[in-house]
A = this chain, B = another copy of it.
Amino acid sequence: MKGGKWQHGVLIVAGGSGSRMGAEIPKQYMELEGKPVIRYTTERFFNFDPEIRMVVVLAPGHLPFWEEVVGCAPELRRVEVETGGPTRYDSVKNGLTRMEEVEFVGIHDAVRPLVSTATIERCFRSAELYGSGIPVAEMDETVRWISDEGHSEHLDRSRIRRVQTPQVFRYSLIREAYDRRFDTSFTDDASVFESLHGEVHLVEGNSENIKITTPTDLLLASLLIRP
Contacts and interface: CB of A to CB of B under 8 A. Distances in A.
Interface string A180-220: 00000101101100100001101000011001010010011
A161 B187 contact: no
A151 interface: yes
A162 interface: yes
Given A143-B139, A143-B161, A154 B187 contact: yes
A224 interface: yes
B213 A152 contact: no
Interface residues of A, number: 39
A162 B188 contact: no
Nearest to A141: B162
Given A142-B162, A161-B143, A152 B200 contact: yes
Contacts of A162: 141-143
A30 interface: no
A224 B153 CA distance: 30
B144 A213 contact: no
B220 A144 contact: no
A116 to B, nearest CB: 14
A154 B194 CA distance: 10
A63 interface: no
Contacts of A134: 144
Given A146-B160, A208-B216, 4 more contacts: A134-B144, A143-B163, A146-B161, A152-B200
